[in-house]
Structure 1
Amino acid sequence: MTLKRISTLSFLLSLISIINFSAFSQKSGDYKITGKIIDDELRVPLEYATISVINVNDPKDLTGGVTNAEGEFSIDVDSGNYNIVVEFISYETKEFNNQTLKGDLNLGTITLGLGAESLDEVVVRAETTQVDVRLDKKIYNIGKDLTTAGGTVSDALNNVPSVTVDIDGAISLRGNGNVKILINGKPSAMAGFGDTNVLNQLPAEAIERVEVITSPSARYDAEGTAGILNIILRQKETLGFNGSLNATIGTPVNAGLTANLNYRTEKFNLFTTTGYRYFKAPGGGFFDTRYFESSQVPYDRIYEDRDIDRINRNFNTNFGMEYFLTKKSSLTGSIFYRWGQDEDVTTNDSDYYQNGSRVINSIRKENEQEDDNSWQFALNYINNFNNKGHKLTADFQVESDKETQLTEINENTPINLTDNPFFNQDEMINQKEDQTEYLLQADYVLPFNEDSQFEAGFRGNWENEVTDYNLFSEDLNTGQFIANDTLSNVFDYDENVMAVYTQYGTKFGNLSFLLGLRLENTQLKGKIDSELTDAELADAFGIPIDTDFDRNYLGLFPTINLIYELAEEENITLGYNRRINRPRGWFINPFPSRSSNNNIFQGNPSLNPAYSNAFDLGYLKRWEKLTLTSSIYYQHETNSFERIERNVAGSNIVRTIPVNLSSNDRTGAELGLLYNPADWLRLNGSFNYFKFKTEGEFDGTSYNAENSSYFARFSSKVSLPLKIDWQTNAFYGGASEGVQGTQEGIFSLDVALSKEILNDNATISINGRDIFNSRKRRSYTLTDTYERDSEFQWRQGQNISLSLIYRFNQQKQRQQKRGEDNEDFDEGGFGG
């Protein structure tokens, strides 16, 4: 039972007691019974504890009261003989029998201990993922997901319905990769400046719940045409010192240690999550490209076998303090720091064919060393003007990330049967990336009554990214390295967003709605410092390149969210929203990757934002042991991004470039089931089907495509004797077809076993991910000049880990002195 439920239940019991006391005794009384009630261990007052005063000679003569915020009470009674009963939910009951009152009675300070019979009720036991539907979101409490024990945030997200994490670490929502990732409701350095691979470095144990926001209200940034994933990290509400330690070891080499610590008093709350992880993640794949005769390239086929060896060392810590200025206001400051030291060795073993015969074998090795230092300072102010939801919040954040990459590339040719020399030119790359981001945000909430609420706010987000890229190529005559002026550059990129919003929500009977409007201005500004002119850059990279641009986009983003309660456990939701997809820096930067001679990715500085209009109709029904969630949705996106592959004329080089196509329509339906047929068995399944249609052309070539796909997941958790749990998670992503080819389906299976030990204070678990080694992306690409089969796997082989989580002082969740505030309207205050 959570603290909030304890608080609510206590209040309701107290309210019932007051009503009963009022019904049976309305007299003022001759004398007073006074006292104070506190927790016997933490020595804090217990608010809403009930005191019953019963006449021994006439039990129907009943009066009583409840304690105030200081744990104090005062009850008026007549003279007589009374039994006095002191109660508080989940605590022991104390009785003072046969008290004869001939004057005022002061019972002094009464201490209550947690009742042994109630201990299990107040232990937080989120055994399985649960879902709660709100006006604009679905909330999934991660629970004890065994398959993520010792895993990362990415592993946990991959078990959330509607969400998929592909083998590259990219996150999709309902098959759409344009997802905005928030941490505790705000952009964060923990999410890696938009690089979701950083989520592979954060422990899954840190997550409390995930909010899947497919129809975001006007409060949220308009970024993310697919929607928003808001990751809420654990924050302990227990008074005193408590926390957990999580140690993991596994194969391929994977070792980590994470500590979640919390110290809470009546005046402040100190918290930290600190962890270190070392792991190896071997990966790789192949590219088999076959060129048509019309392409007129030197080689008619190139087969490239790629192996990647990764070593990652990551340390991250988040430390903060919440200081309670008053009973209604608090100030929270936190500092997050991440250090990373990675080493990636990529080997490309390439065979070149002429007329079906191999004529060249080339081995290209790239050794990349990367140091990463990120930090974030955040300040949050909350002022609850009352307990009815009237409040003001303000946030300030500053983030900085510095990456240094040193890369050595060497290539040799063991086999060359052609008359033409194959130049084995070594390269060295020195790249520095500096990113800085500022956030300023304020939100004001004003309830008019229990069923209506107004909200308004401002948000400014200023982000700068400077990439200093220096390429040195070997002089084949002297062996010395000289600067390559064609590719060396400095790219200075700004993304600045300023917005104001307002929204109003109310409830009429069983219908609740939330209407919002957001005005947002986006500035995309970039400058490329290169030795080449714009014309020379366009010649070198095959697309027009603007080396100095400043574009502004002002737009209105309306949102509508409705929920109709058919019954207490049954509702229908309807949502509409307009969203924007802003191109990230690496999609803008035109200077290509260097891992392969033949397959390169380069950004497009001419990219403009994409816009979408989306509709979502949902239905939820709860039975005693079954929860059903379902929805159908439609999205129309204009100026949508697509990655286009094409080879350089007369060359075997294949470039992948993101471009704006005209439109993308996506229609789909999803179904989710949570079924607990018995105390020892919990089942969780979801299915998502979607159809998409893309229309548009680029450079005179049409890229119209229409296809459908789906993905499904199933999870079962079985509680065995001896406090052993067994969990199985299965996932299958169906085949799909894009504008230039197809992708095969992907299946993966994870299993885990866990056992509670040390009086349930610790859990030991063994976890096997992708036990069939089947999580591979296999695709086929077809263009006017070539066809290609490819396969890629981010992490090769099965991953097995052993994890131990030890918890201390977490078994007793005490009632907070401070009352729980009402939730915001768009946080679900009116139904769901």
Structure 2
Amino acid sequence: MSHKFILTFLLVFTFGCISAQNAPILIKGKVLESNNNLPIEYATISILNKNSNQPLTGTISGQDGTFQLKTNETNFLIEVSFMGFKSKTISEFEIIKNTIDLNTIILSEDSQALDEIVVRAEKSQTEFKLDKRVFNVGLDLSSTGASSLEVLNSIPSVNVNIEGEISLRGSQGVQILINGKPSVLASADGNALGSITADMIEQVEVITNPSAKYDAEGTSGIINIIIKKSEKRGINGSATLNFGVPNSNSFGLSVNKRTEKFNLFSQLGFGIRTFPDERKSINQDLINNTTIRSIGESEFDEKFANILIGTDYHINDRNVITLSGSYAYEFEDQYSNTNFTETDASNATTNSWIRDEVTEADNPKLRYELQYKKNFKRHEDQNLLFSALGSSFRKDQFSDFENTVIMGDDDDFQQKTRTDYKLEDYTFKLDYTHPFLEKYTIETGSQYVINSVSNDFAVSNLENGIWVNNPDLTNVFDFDQKVLGIYTTAAYEGDIWGLKLGLRFEHTDLSTLLETTNESNGNNYSNLFPSIHSSYKISDNFSIQAGYSKRIKRPGLRELNPFSNIRNNFNISTGNPDLQPEYTDSYEITSIHKIGKASLNFSLYNRYTIDVVDRISTFENNVSTSRPENVGTNSTTGFEANGKYAPTDWFSFNGDFNINYFTRKGVFEATNFDFKGNQWSSSLTTKFKLPSQFDLEISGNYNSKFKTLQNDISENYFADFGLRKKILKGKVILNLSIRDVFATRINETITSQSDFYLFNSRQRGRFVTFGISYGFGKGEAMQFSGQRR
């Protein structure tokens, strides 16, 4: 019995020792930052192999900076790290009762790493993909306090005129998307794109030849504006304060909280902006030799406030639901004063009067979105995405006009207008991406877009002290459009060459109604839109891309609505309810070069458009009336070159040059409009890094004169200036921006016909803005300094 007892005791003792040796080791501690001894949330604690430094396991710190994890390893190191701080490696520690208590671990800021983060965020970079160019928007100095329109105007191939009209390679048939979807903010009818500020933009995608995956709308291409939404863990955010002359005063606050399951994001902003305007016009009757000249100035004041709240809920590693909503309210005041003079054939003044306008408007905007994304285990790029987006915009506007006679036989008179404008948009999208065999990808999906607009416009004249409605200028115009799209694409992308084929089907159901006169128009049509894109990599520094797509440009509300503003009764612009869509076949080939510190890109392109929409002006009783019409075809062949060169660390410049030749053919009401022409544009931006952390940016833009069916558009040129100073280790950034430094950005249009001559000029002037930005968070947020609102 004694032998059995001793044997049993030895077995139990040995097993206990082995069990004790194999018991996991508990590692615990707390991570603090050195400046204020505050806890660091989401610091990374890694267990590394002592010989190979390969990671074995790890964890992250909690909200109070504490952590704990277990390991069965015996030969290891402990590394504690967090972005923007110097990592700490611990190789000497005591194991007491299978526990390593590291107590408090202090991490100090890595100022060099923080500067690198800020610098990376400041640089605007361009990426070339198979069917688009992606511009990563950095902290371009001249964009301080600017809207998205100024950002777009700084991007190669894109031009924004003083009216806010966007063109791509000289063509205005551009589809604007927000985060890949149509939005009330991008609607020309709402005129709200300017409410997106530069510091809210992450990327701008320029798609001159979109694949079938994208909406076929836009004959010259698509511009997709990607709004920032932080995914950084912990609390991150920034505050921005801007002051400007004329008024560009605003405050913005952005806060983001990222946890294991939720990403909460919010933006708040309010301010006031002023847009001055100087206008000149000449209406000359060449038959009767009479002329009406006008010169005036106006001031448009906009007070605004907006709030955005949203969250990403990570159900698990592969399923995310996003819910967001935003509300904005704008209050507009506009005043204009215009002097009119009428002269006869001997240039003697026969009539002279002043026309004053006072306008007030309220613009509430609402936007809401639900999105669900599912990633699949089989492949990291396999995903299913569903989104439902709704938005509404309303404008309640009242205008008072008063004519005061200075000279002549006419009487003083007053007019007033009322506008009740309502817009509702709904977009439903379903997209599925399926990669296979490593280099192949199939995409398929559908989209259904509903646009509904009602524009109630009334004009009244004061007659004998009584306001009398003018039935010729009063009506309710309803616009309803539904577009269903279904697409599929197949792509091969190898190391040397790639090919992407696509086909999109779209059915459009459009109806318009003038309620007062009960005039209705309907248009239903279906189209196929093929696309093909290819790329070939000749070497690491030289590759070629080519593409083809078919596009459509559907007429919008402003082009269809037969009523318009009566600010100037002698220059009237109306719509055409019978307008048909344009169709364009677009071809393009691009070469991409990297030569040392320079990158260069050259493109040849051709666009052939049928049923081209152009404005035709008619003239009667000194009144010019322009109306859009479908007139013939247009063939445009162009060349574009853009590049960037950074010869030193403190100096770089990038530029863009675009020229195209076009041939217009068309007949309208027995008048032949065949002609040929060309236009070109160029831009150059230089950046300097100066001592004491000052940055300087100077840019110049030039747009040549060109012809349309009846008009000659004059040349246009302007320069922008920006200066930045970083303080407090880059956490605070001071910005000075001057747009249109020399006040040379003037838009002039001349219409010269056999029986009449028209001249119109408009200028906004110089804008000076000073901004202060502060980024806060635990290190990671520094890359958002000065960018987010």
Residue 493 of structure 1 pairs with residue 479 of structure 2: yes
| CA distance 1:810–1:654, change in 2 (3 Å) | farther
Amino acid at match of 1:571: S
1:629 is matched with 601
Q: Which residue of 2 aligns with 1:330?
A: 320
Contact 1:122/1:813, CA 8 A, preserved across alignment: no
**1:482 deviation in Å?**
1.2
2:148 equivalent to 1:153: yes
SS of residue in 1 equivalent to 2:316: coil
Aligned-partner Cα distance in 2 for 1:273–1:63: 42
**Distance in 2 between residues matched to 1:658 and 1:814, nearest whole Å:** 50
Relative to structure 1, the CA distance from residue 813 to residue 428 in structure 2 (aligned partners, 3 Å threshold; closer, same or farther) is closer
Question: Which residue number in structure 1 is paired with residue 725 of structure 2?
Answer: 755
CA distance in 2, matches of 1:594, 1:367: 12
3-state SS, counterpart of residue 50 of structure 2: strand
For 1:666, the equivalent position in structure 2 comes to 636
Task: Specify whether residues 783 and 196 from structure 1 end up closer, same or farther in structure 2 by C-alpha distance, changes over 3 A only.
Answer: farther
Mapped to 1, the partners of 2:546 and 2:671 lie a distance apart of 38
Alpha-carbon distance change, 482 to 616 in structure 1, aligned in 2, over 3 angstroms: same
Kindly indicate whether residue 378 of structure 2 is the aligned counterpart of residue 406 of structure 1.
no
Q: Is the 8 A contact 2:283 2:622 kept in 1?
A: no
1:186-229 deviations in whole A, cap 9, x for unaligned?
A: 112332x2347422222211111211111112221111111111
How far off is 1:694 after superposition? 1.5
Secondary structure of the equivalent of 1:143? Answer: coil
Provide the C-alpha distance between the structure 2 equivalents of 1:565 and 1:33, rounded to a whole number of angstroms: 52
Q: Residue 108 of structure 1: CA displacement?
A: 7.8
**Residue 192 of structure 2 aligns to a residue in which SS?**
helix
Q: Please say if 1:311 is aligned against 2:301.
A: yes
Match of 1:678? 648
What is the aligned partner in structure 2 of residue 720 from structure 1?
A: 690
CA 1:592–1:153 in 2, change beyond 3 Å: closer, same or farther? closer
Secondary structure in 2 matching 1:455? strand
Match of 1:345 among 306, 323, 335: 335
C-alpha offsets along residues 396-454 of structure 1, whole Å, 9 cap, x if unaligned?
111111111111112122111xxxx4354321211101111111111111111321111
Structure 2 equivalent of residue 503 of structure 1: 489
Query: CA contact under 8 A between 1:39 and 1:46: conserved in structure 2?
Result: no
C-alpha contact 1:238 1:814 (8 A) present in aligned 2: no
Q: Is residue 140 from structure 1 mapped to residue 140 from structure 2 by the alignment? A: no
Does the 8 A contact of 1:243 with 1:810 survive in 2? no
What is aligned with 1:729?
A: 699
1:785 match: 755
Distance in structure 1 (CA, Å) of the matches to 2:481 and 2:743? 40
* Worse-superposed segment, 220-229 or 354-363: 354-363
Distance in 2, Cα, partners of 1:195 & 1:438: 16
SS at match of 2:149: helix
Deviation at 1:604, TM superposition (A): 0.3
| Superposition deviation, residue 479 in structure 1 | 2.2
2:13 aligned residue: none
Match of 2:444 in 1: 456
Which residue does 2:9 correspond to in 1?
A: none
2:386 to 378, 388, 394: 394
> Could you list the per-position Cα deviations for residues 126-165 of structure 1 after superposition, in whole angstroms to 9, with x for gaps in the alignment?
3332111001111111212000012111111111111111
Distance 1:304 1:118 in 2: 59
Taking the TM superposition and a 5 Å limit, the aligned residue runs for 1:262-411 are 262-293=256-287, 300-356=290-346, 357-386=348-377, 387-411=379-403
What is the Cα-based RMSD across aligned positions, in Å? 2.7
Deviation track 1:605-658 (CA, whole Å, cap 9, x = no partner) reads: 01011110101111112345222122111101111110111113xx21110111
* Corresponding residue for residue 50 of structure 2: 53
1:170 corresponds, among 165, 170, 190, to 165
Alpha-carbon distance between aligned partners in 2 of 1:609 and 1:118, rounded to the nearest angstrom: 53
The TM-score with structure 2 as length reference comes to 0.89
Native 8 Å contact 1:32 1:104 kept in 2: no
Identity, % of aligned positions: 27
Distance 2:29 2:384 in 1: 31
Q: Does 1:233 align with 2:227?
A: yes
Q: Which residue of 2 aligns with 1:187?
A: 182
Are residues 367 and 125 of structure 1, via their aligned partners in 2, closer, same or farther at CA, if it must alter by over 3 Å?
A: same
Structure 1 Cα separation of the partners of residues 29 and 595 of structure 2: 39
CA gap 1:449/1:39 in 2 versus in 1, 3 angstroms: farther
1:760: Cα distance to partner? 1.3
Segment of structure 1 superposing worse, 427-436 or 734-743: 734-743
Using the alignment, how far apart are the partners of 2:97 and 2:541 within structure 1?
49
Change in CA separation of 1:118 and 1:36 when aligned onto 2, cut-off 3 Å: farther
Q: Which runs of 5+ in 1 are unaligned?
A: 1-29, 55-61, 534-546, 816-832
Provide the C-alpha distance between the structure 1 equivalents of 2:659 and 2:53, rounded to a whole number of angstroms: 60
Distance 2:622 2:362 in 1: 34
Between the aligned partners of 2:550 and 2:101, the Cα distance in structure 1 is 61
The 1:810–1:724 alpha-carbon spacing in structure 2 relative to 1, beyond 3 Å, is farther
* Aligned partners of 2:775 and 2:782 also within 8 Å: no
Matches within 5 A, 1:594-743: 594-648=566-620, 651-743=621-713
Partner-residue secondary structure (3-state), 1:126: helix
> What is the deviation of 1:118?
4.5
Deviation at 1:88, TM superposition (A): 6.7
Note closer, same or farther for the CA distance 1:572–1:105 as it changes in structure 2 (3 Å cut). farther
Letter in 2 for 1:250: G
Tell me, in whole angstroms, the C-alpha distance in 1 between the residues paired with 2:350 and 2:781: 71
The yes-or-no answer on 1:422 pairing with 2:380 is: no
Q: 2:7 maps to which residue?
A: none
Report the CA distance between 1:38 and its aligned residue: 9.8
State the distance in 1 between where 2:782 and 2:727 align: 23
Equivalent position amino acid for 2:131 in 1:
D
Give the match for residue 543 of structure 2. Answer: 571
Which residue is equivalent to 2:507? 521
Pick closer, same or farther for the CA change 1:145–1:425 going to 2, 3 Å.
same
Contact 2:613-2:629 within 8 A present in 1 as well: yes
Partner Cα separation in structure 2 for residue 39 and residue 706 of structure 1? 74
- Contact 1:132 1:138 (C-alpha < 8 Å) held by counterparts: yes
SS of corresponding position for 1:266: coil
Q: Is the 8 A contact 1:39 1:113 kept in 2?
A: no
Greater mean alpha carbon deviation, residues 252-261 or residues 331-340: 252-261
Aligned equivalents of 1:710 and 1:360: distance in 2? 41
Write the deviation string for residues 502-527 of structure 1: whole angstroms up to 9, x where unpaired. Answer: 11111244111221111001111111
Counterparts of 1:284 and 1:512, CA distance in 2:
51
Alpha-carbon offset, residue 331 of structure 1: 0.9
Comparing 88-97 and 634-643, the one that deviates more = 88-97
684-693 vs 624-633, greater mean Cα deviation: 624-633
Deviation at 1:76, TM superposition (A): 6.4
Q: Secondary structure at the match of 1:426?
A: strand
Q: Measure, in 2, the Cα distance between the counterparts of 1:671 and 1:458.
A: 35
Q: Does 1:199 align with 2:193?
A: yes
Q: Which stretch has the larger CA shift, 560-569 or 653-662?
A: 560-569
Cα deviation for residue 759 of structure 1 reads 2.6
In structure 2, do the counterparts of structure 1 residues 696 and 306 end up closer, same or farther at CA, with 3 Å as the change threshold?
Answer: farther
Given that residues 517 and 559 in structure 1 are in contact (C-alpha distance below 8 angstroms), is that contact kept between their aligned partners in structure 2?
yes
Supply the distance in 1 between the matched residues of 2:782 and 2:643 (Cα, whole angstroms): 33
- Indicate which of 228, 249, 254 corresponds to 1:255: 249
Structure 1 letter corresponding to 2:679: S
TM-score under structure 1 length normalisation: 0.84
Q: Residue 34 and residue 44 in structure 1: after superposition, are their counterparts in 2 closer, same or farther (change >3 A)?
A: farther
Answer whether contact 1:203 1:258 (CA < 8 A) is retained: no
Q: Per-residue displacement from partner, 1:14-46 (whole Å, max 9, x unpaired)?
A: xxxxxxxxxxxxxxxx96986779994544474
Could you tell me which runs of 5 or more consecutive residues in structure 2 were left unpaired when the two chains were aligned. 1-20, 32-38, 61-67, 784-789
Deviates more, 1:577-586 or 1:669-678: 669-678
Q: How many aligned residue pairs are there?
A: 743
Is structure 2 residue 204 aligned with structure 1 residue 210? yes
